[in-house]
Amino acid sequence: MSDGVRTGLVGCGKVGLTHALALSVLARSKFSAVCDADLARARDFGARFGVPAYGDTGEMVRAERLDMVSVCTPHPQHEAAVVAAARAGAHSLVEKPFAADLGACDRAIAAAGEAGVKIGVMSQRRWYRPIVRMHKAIDEGKIGIPIIANVVVLGWRDETYYRSDPWRGTWSSEGGGVLVNQTPHQLDLLLWLMGPAAEVYGQWENFNHPYIDVEDTAVAVVRFQNGGVATLTLSNSQNPGLYGRVHIYGSNGASIGAQTEGGSMFVSGMTTAVDPPINDLWTIRGEEDLLADWQAQDRAAVERENPLTFYHDRQVEDFLESIALDRPPTVDAEAGRRVVELFTAIYRSQRDHAPCRLPLRPENGDDYDGRLVPPPGINGVTSK
């Protein structure tokens, strides 16, 4: 594509702005159009970037001869945008999570396969330097086999956040809570570092957000195909937010880890500053003394690279390159589906009061793929 990849945007909200800023400056991108169900909003948004606005994804792709769209709608609407783009001949880079349920994932994958186009799913934390170091150490066998993992995210979301968009905090328009919206990044990192999951036992609750329907907390134990295990503690219930951490422990006794978030979690379009991601655990023999230097390097990087956009831009760049060079994107649709499968397993495990074996198939029914049976409530805490 000598004239670049003709790109467009579907969903002119907060995270849509982050995508638009990337698409408007990256060398391979020729940012050409925007689309939103609210045409007036799309026109205002498009005027900011000097591109035309549309109210229909397929119409936009065909009229502007787009090669690729960024899909930034609320999660339950991702499928429709991907399918419309695929049928019109465009690749899709989809914001996390890939979809709110497994059936939507599978229909989007099928449509892309029929059209011969690619799907990528945003998980920009894979580009964090501390995470890259961890993945490289595992690939090089420096910790033996990854046998234990701990993922802890203790964040906070206040009522202002949930009122900032009308779709937040409900099963029908958001698809879930902390599992679906705030922690897909950490779930993706877990699966990328540990490999495919085999069995999940999980529980969820809404402890202190009575004005939303969805969970603000979830815990789980995961067994992996390689025999390893993990514990997950994921919550929006801690005020102030504390941190997000991913730690991996190896069969040779070595441990590696990263703090991916400090304080409350990043909110696209709302957060103005974040702590730099750092390695906070490293006991590989002969490399123990590297930790302080890495932390200094990563803190210094914030001075020259805005962490609110830098890693996001790297993944958009990767997807554009995958189109231009006709190679798979680093985070593809199957990786995105595995995250949806993992959080779906947690919901179904609580519903069925039993461990949930993977792989999972979509379920036909009206309980949003296993998540509408409310938890019983603990110590007087009840859910809506």
Q: Are residue 51 and residue 142 in the same domain, yes or no? A: no
pLDDT digits (tens, 9 = 90+) for 160-216: 999 999 999 999 899 999 999 999 999 999 999 999 999 999 999 999 999 999 999
* Mean pLDDT to the nearest integer, 39-67: 98
Q: Are residue 324 and residue 230 in the same domain, yes or no? A: no
Sequence-distant (≥ 6) Cβ neighbours of residue 13 within 8 angstroms: 72, 73, 165, 269
Whether 346 is in a domain gets the answer no
Q: Are residue 321 and residue 173 in the same domain, yes or no? A: no
Identify the pLDDT of residue 381: 44
Q: Are residue 61 and residue 196 in the same domain, yes or no? A: no
Q: Are residue 114 and residue 10 in the same domain, yes or no? A: yes
DSSP secondary structure letters along 149-181: EEEEEE-B--HHHHHSSTTTT-HHHH--SIIII
Whether 97 is in a domain gets the answer yes
Q: Are 104 and 44 in contact (CB under 8 A)?
A: no
Q: How many domains are contained in the chain?
A: 2
Question: What CATH number corresponds to the domain at position 172?
Answer: 3.30.360.10
Q: Are residue 113 and residue 159 in the same domain, yes or no? A: no
Mean pLDDT of the chain: 93
Asked if pLDDT for residue 126 goes beyond 80, the answer is yes
Cα–chain center distance at 86? 21
Q: Are residue 74 and residue 91 in the same domain, yes or no? A: yes
- 383 pLDDT band, cuts 50/70/90, is very low
Whether 160 is in a domain gets the answer yes
Q: Are residue 34 and residue 111 in the same domain, yes or no? A: yes
Q: What is the pTM of this model?
A: 0.94
Q: Are residue 53 and residue 148 in the same domain, yes or no? A: no
C-alpha 216/C-alpha 205 separation (Å) is: 6
For 231, the domain range is 126-305
pLDDT digits (tens, 9 = 90+) for 260-304: 998 766 565 555 567 899 999 999 999 999 999 999 999 999 888
* Mean pLDDT to the nearest integer, 2-26: 94
Question: What CATH number corresponds to the domain at position 88?
Answer: 3.40.50.720
Q: Are residue 85 and residue 229 in the same domain, yes or no? A: no
Cα–chain center distance at 18? 14
Q: Are residue 83 and residue 167 in the same domain, yes or no? A: no
